[in-house]
Amino acid sequence: MLEVVLVLGEFLAGEKDRSITSYENLMVPKHEVLSDAEARKVLEELHTTAEKLPRIFDGDPALAGKAKPGQIVKIYREDPSGGYLYYRIVIQG
């Protein structure tokens, strides 16, 4: 059986150790878990509560097991017109 793995745009055959995970993919925006103090500050600035934030599952590959339910994640997204910050509450799933 021939394994083909895409690594940085190059096809490599049979090199299992060269595979990448989705959180290392260049197309996945940076996800940062906020400390409790940072989370409180963000919620205060946004005049909202954690329960009102959009949700992200704790098993999401972009989190790579770094976040636990109840924590808030800051997501950096960039496009040609600039960068944007999004916040998500981590839920179990």
Q: Residue 55's domain is classified under what CATH number?
A: 3.90.940.20
pLDDT at 12 over 50: no
| 20 lies in some domain | no
Using only C-alpha atoms, the chain has a radius of gyration, in whole angstroms, of: 17
pLDDT at 82 over 50: yes
Total domain count for the chain? 1
pLDDT value of residue 93: 84
Please give the Cα distance from 26 to 14 (Å, whole number): 22
pLDDT value of residue 25: 57
| 8 lies in some domain | no
Structural domain of 82: 29-91
Its pTM stands at 0.71
Please give the Cα distance from 30 to 24 (Å, whole number): 9
| 52 lies in some domain | yes
| 58 lies in some domain | yes
End-to-end CA distance of the chain: 34
| 78 lies in some domain | yes
Please give the Cα distance from 29 to 86 (Å, whole number): 10
Report the pLDDT averaged over residues 2-29.
Answer: 51
Q: Report the SS3 class of residue 34.
A: coil
- Nearest Cα to Cα of residue 68 among 37, 91, 42, 87: 91
pLDDT value of residue 26: 65
Tens digits of residue pLDDT in 47-79: 999 999 999 999 998 888 889 999 999 999 888
